[in-house]
Amino acid sequence: MIRAFFFDLDGTICDTLEDIASSVNRSLKMHGFQERSVTGFIHFLGNGSKVMIHKAIGDDSVSPIEEKAVFDDYLSYYETHFCEKTHAFAGMENALSELKKKGISLFCVTNKPDKAAKEIVGKCYPGLFTETLGISGDLPTKPDPTGILSLIRKYGLKKDECAMGGDSDVDLILARNASIPHTVAVAWGYRPLGELFAEHPEAVIYRPRELLSLPFVTE
């Protein structure tokens, strides 16, 4: 049985889309850019906030200075409005609680800003996660494995005793880059299933409860 399960945040353990969309759209409007539909943000997520802002602006002729201004205003607002509509996916808290009862440590590794990530996970899943790691300072975004490898070293884990679960190809590529053998794609997230199957995950699950019947959890 595995000892640690790493999870993505947005679209995997929490539905964060509405708060992200409203915060980005506020900044886009402030700077004279077209607002985007909530569902449109599905195509912008996965590679960190700066990439998201670039995709949301949708104009490669925009100067880096102006793009940074949109990002800065978004981040400033989002840091105090990140959990107004954000919530845990139905059934996820029970599933994660059962994993923890089995002695599996839970971690969240996300490209979301670190402060917001820690507060969201703490609010939605109090006491369940050993550590949440978001982006701060010079830490590179997923699928660079620097962050997840730092947690593996910090907690004395072996890679073959770890699993990674997420809703995008970024999470599955991250696991491969970190040499984590067990990968789980969640079908309720923001990315199309074809994108997930293309990365050949060990398992694809359609409900949180299915986490408990995965072979490396039940063995």
Domain ranges of the chain: 4-15+87-218, 17-81
Candidates 113, 122, 132; CA nearest to 53 is 113
> For residue 31, what are its two tokens?
């700077």
Torsion of CA 72, 74, 77, 78, to 10 degrees: -120
Provide the sign of the torsion angle of the four alpha carbons 129, 127, 213, 191, taken in this order: negative
Q: If DSSP states are collapsed to H, E and C, what string results for 40-53?
A: HHHHCCCCCHHHHH
Task: Please identify which residue in the block is written with the tokens 């353990």.
Answer: 13
4-15+87-218 is a CATH 3.20.20.70 domain: no
Name the 3-class secondary structure at 213.
helix
CATH superfamily name and code, 17-81: Putative phosphatase; domain 2 (1.10.150.240)
Query: Phi and psi (nearest 5°) for 185?
Result: -100, 130
Whether omega for the bond prior to residue 215 falls within 30 degrees of 0, making it cis, is no
Hey, CA dihedral for 181, 186, 191, 196, is it positive or negative?
positive
Record the tokens describing residue 59, joined without a space. Answer: 């104009």
Closest CA to 194 of 213, 172, 178: 172
User: pTM to 2 decimals?
Assistant: 0.91
Position 118, amino acid: K
Q: At what angle do helices 114-124 and 64-81 cross, to 10 degrees?
A: 30
pLDDT (tens place) for every residue of the chain, 219 residues total: 899 999 999 999 999 999 999 999 999 999 999 999 998 888 888 778 888 999 999 988 889 999 999 999 998 998 889 889 999 999 999 999 999 999 999 999 999 989 999 999 999 999 999 999 999 989 999 999 999 999 999 999 999 999 999 999 999 999 999 999 999 999 999 988 999 999 999 999 999 999 999 999 997
